[in-house]
Amino acid sequence: MADPFNPFEKMMEQAHAMAKAMNPALENFNPKAFEAMWPTLPKEFMEVAFGKAFNKEGLDSKTRLFLVLSGLTMQGAVAESQVRMTVRHLMEAGATKQEIAEAIAQMTMFAGVPAVTKAGTLAKEVMDEMEGDEE
C-alpha cells in the first residue's frame, strides 16, 4: 500500500509536532510581530556604529547595508526577517527604492532568479509598508 503522504510532508508533520511539544508558543509565532519589536535605527546612529566614525576611509553605513542585503539575497532570501529589517534600515539610511531594487537585481547572476524574486518581494513589502506609514 502506498503511503498517502510524501516524505517531505511526513517530515514537516513530525517537525511541527516536535516543535509544538518542545515549545507550544512556537505554534503561534509571528515573525513580523517579532520584527516590530526591533526599532529602525536612526541614520546618524547607523553611521556611528556601522559607518565611518571609527574608520574615516571605510565604507559608509548605507554601503555596508547594501552588502548585507546582497549576502542575504545570495542565501536565497530565506532569512525573511533579516531581509525586511535590512531594507527598512537602508531606507532610513537614505537608500532609494531604485537603489535597493538594483542591489537585489545585481544578485541574479550569482544567486539565481528565485532568490532575487523572493528578496524583491520582501523588499517591496517593506517599502510599501513604509510608504503607507508616511501618509
- Give 4's pLDDT tier (boundaries 50, 70, 90): low
114 and 69 share a domain? yes
Cα–Cα distances in angstroms (integers) from residue 135 to residues 100, 124, 128, 129, in the given order: 21, 17, 11, 10
Sole residue written with cell 510599501: 128
Task: Examine the domain organization and report whether 11 and 66 are in the same domain.
Answer: no
* pLDDT of 59: 83
HSE value, Cβ hemisphere, 13 Å, CA-based, for 23: 5
The overall pTM is greater than 0.85: no
Q: Is the pLDDT of residue 1 over 60?
A: no
The answer to whether residues 83 and 24 belong to one domain is: no
Clarify whether residues 26 and 43 are in a common domain: no
Are 86 and 60 in a shared domain?
Answer: yes
Model confidence at 107, pLDDT cuts 50, 70, 90, reads very high
- Over residues 58-86, the pLDDT tens digits come to 888 899 899 999 999 999 878 899 999 99
Structural domain span for residue 15: 1-30
Residues 110 and 51 in one domain: yes
Spell 13-23 as b/e; 16+ CB within 10 A means b. Answer: eeeeeeeeeee
The Cα 109–Cα 105 span in angstroms is 9
Q: The CATH number of the domain where 44 resides is what?
A: 1.20.1290.10
Q: Is 7 exposed, middle or buried (0-12, 13-18, 19+ CB in 10 A)?
A: exposed
